[in-house]
Amino acid sequence: MQKGNISVQTENIFPIIKKFLYSDQEIFLRELVSNAVDATSKLKAMALKGDFKGELGDLTIDILLDKEAKTLTIRDQGIGMSEEEVMKYLNQVAFSSASDFLEKYKDDVNIIGHFGLGFYSAFMVADKVEVQTRSCNPDKNAVTWICAGNPEYEIGESAKENRGTDIILHIGEDSTEFLEEARIEALLNKYCKFLPFPVRFGTKKDYVSEGSGEDTKEVEVDNIINEVAPAWRKLPADLTDEDYKAFYNELYRFSPAPLFWIHLNIDFPFNLTGILYFPKLQNGLEAQRNKIQLYSNQVYVTDDVKEIVPEFLMLLHGVIDSPDIPLNVSRSYLQSDSNVRKITGYITKKVADRLHELYKKEKESFESKWQDLGVFVKYGMLSDEKFYEKAIKFALLEDVNGNFTPVEAYKEKVKDAQTDKHGKVVFLYTNQPKDHDSFIKAATQRGYDVLKFDTVIDNHFLQHLEQKLKDITFVRVDSDTVDNLVQKDDVAESVLSEKDQDKVKGYFEKVVSEKQGTSVQLKPLSPDDDPVVITRPEFMRRMKEMQALQGGGMDFPDSLQVVVNTNHPLVSGKLLRAKSDERRTEIAEYLYNLALLNQQMLRGPELTSFIQNSLEMLSK
């Protein structure tokens, strides 16, 4: 048996591999199984070219665990290696056989192993690595290669009879977790679930029917880890809706069925396949992230795809598979280049086109899903200009009655009735339909339309639309009295004289004198409107909300306007006809508290006092 030194730049390569090269120790299994897939793919490609004349036979990759011997073996029946190839590929770190093979068979096979260092990940968990390999070339002898985690190795003849390679890891004392069956099976399910050749990990129990009866018997069957032809590698025409849903359930067990999906399939100018699902968002956005899995030729790489998938689409679920995405040596991190940017642009366009298609062809279904879809679309319009340009055609605005209208069509719908004195179309909205019920009714009774904007992203979205469209303005329905929002030809007159108006204003100013940031206005509204309405100036309220979202900054006061309806009978009649200033002040305070109660702003001792006063009034 010969001895020699592995050709590396430094004798410290093994400590570097063990501690720094790979982001996670468990990656070794993915790397070694991927190499086994490469070897099998190469053999299949050679057979297609006629360069391999023998029988392909069973191409299953076996993972063998021997806890007693403290070994883990990865066995393939692929191309194998001769002694010369072992010397070339195992003894020269960072010199990958894949690059040579790709040049010759680039039109026939996809090779996973772009990195010669993949094999050396074995030394993260093994004190000694033994390779038993036999080339598919019948003229070559079987070879044994042994290395104990340092630049020294042994190489010699092997007794191996079958074509292919066994990588035998002698697991180190600090890595005994990888001698546990459950741990290995979990890793295989994570990294090898969709490899293109069967991966077998021992056997498992199954039950088969006996005869025509209902009796079953227990049998041992091969434990095949993976699905060799996953849904994303098939043509959309060959898949039914149930196939897509079943695949989603395989990826995300116990999750609600997705809203719909997009099948990606492109081979120029880059290769990309995959399926992206729109999930039901349910309770929160953050919990939905990191659900897109990246594969390279069916080998799992990562679920951190922020370099490929636009930020607003990180809420999607599913799979992306591309051999053209550049990865670093451990395949764990993506490297930005022109291909990545092209892929990102393609995914964005594909999602936008699919959403537009659904809106045009399945309008009712699209509207029924808008509560979930709206978050994706609005987020995308905020963060991606190209997506905005497409999405403005199908981004829907929902009114309080559940009607949906695209943005431009909605503007046309309301502009005649809701244009202000500056020529801007006023989009009235509520973010709290229940709390704003009286304001909504006051608006709708006058023929105005009120939109519902009640998601976490809406505050940003409406401001973005204002900036983009220029000729619209959003006003929350409680920001002013509705008659003050639009340009009206007929302006109501107050039934009160100027002297009486001054008196009324004085009583209310007395009531709110200690309320910082609160002002009193008199307006001649309809007698059917509330006697007192509390509004918040739109600009100041938005500034305060933005400050709260950002967690600091300037302390904006809570500016309130107490709008007194001088045409309401309780103001023009009961209040002014009261026998004493004390009684008039009591009525003003009571009406003010009613308005606070209507705005969910009467709390604590003030609410308790108001209830007691109300009971006393009713008992008189």
How many whole angstroms separate alpha carbon 165 and alpha carbon 142?
10
Q: What is the pLDDT of residue 484?
A: 59
3-state SS, residue 112: coil
**Strand, coil or helix: 432:** coil
* Alpha carbon distance 427, 448 (integer Å): 9
| CA proximity to 348, closest of 323, 311, 295, 305 | 311
- Mean pLDDT check: name the lowest of 58-72, 266-280, 485-499: 485-499
Instruction: Tell me what pLDDT residue 124 has.
Output: 85
Domains of the chain: residue spans and CATH? 2-202 (3.30.565.10), 231-361 (3.30.230.80), 395-484 (3.40.50.11260), 498-536+543-619 (1.20.120.790)
Neighbours of 564 (CB within 10 A): 25
Q: Which residues pair with 419 in a beta bridge?
A: 425
Kindly report whether the peptide bond that precedes residue 269 is cis, defined as omega within 30 degrees of 0: yes
| Nearest of 563, 585, 562, 564 to residue 575 by alpha carbon | 585
Phi, psi of 183 (to 5 degrees): -65, -45
* Mean pLDDT value across residues 336-345: 74
Residues 319 and 227: beta-carbon distance below 8 Å? no
How many of the other CB atoms lie within 10 Å of CB of 214?
A: 7
Q: Is 16 helix (H, G, I), strand (E, B) or coil?
A: helix
Whole-angstrom distance, CA of residue 147 vs CA of residue 167: 11
* Contact yes or no for 308/338 (Cβ under 8 A): no
In terms of phi and psi (left: phi > 0; alpha: psi -120 to 50; beta: otherwise), the region of 470 is left
- For residue 318, the cross-strand partners are 276, 292
Q: Among residues of the chain, what percentage have pLDDT more than 70?
A: 83
Cβ atoms of 301 and 316 within 8 Å: the answer is no
Long-range contacts of 54-58 (CB under 8 A, 24+ apart): 54/136, 54/138, 54/163
Query: Which parts of 192-318 fold into alpha helices (H)?
Result: 241-251
Residue 140 has pLDDT above 60, yes or no: yes
| H or E element in which residue 469 lies | helix 458-469
Alpha helices (H) in 73-112, listed in sequence order:
83-89, 97-105
The average pLDDT across 111-125 equals: 65
Query: How would residue 330 be classed by pLDDT, with cut points 50, 70 and 90?
Result: very low
Q: Tokens 């940003």 identify what position?
A: 460
In whole angstroms, give the CA distance from residue 65 to residue 184: 9
CA atoms in the 13 A half-sphere facing the CB of 40: 22
pLDDT at 88: 83
Residue 92: pLDDT band with limits 50, 70, 90: low
pLDDT band at 116 (very low <50, low <70, confident <90, very high): very low
pLDDT digits (tens, 9 = 90+) for 178-210: 999 999 999 999 999 999 999 999 998 888 776
- Least confident segment among 81-85, 103-107, 111-115, 441-445: 111-115
Query: % helix / strand / coil in the chain, to the nearest 5?
Result: 40, 20, 40
Distance of CA 558 to the CA centre of its chain: 35
Contact 478, 599 (CB under 8 A): yes
Compute the chain's Rg from CA coordinates. Answer: 36
- Specify the pLDDT at position 570: 92
Q: Average pLDDT for residues 578-584, to the nearest whole number?
A: 90
| Host H or E run for residue 63 | strand 61-66
Find out whether 481 and 563 touch, Cβ atoms under 8 Å: yes
- Any idea which residue has 């032809």 for tokens? 229
* Cis peptide bond upstream of 326, omega within 30: no
Short-list 218, 221, 246, CA closest to 232: 246
Higher local confidence (pLDDT), 392 or 470: 392
- For residue 562, pLDDT beyond 70: yes
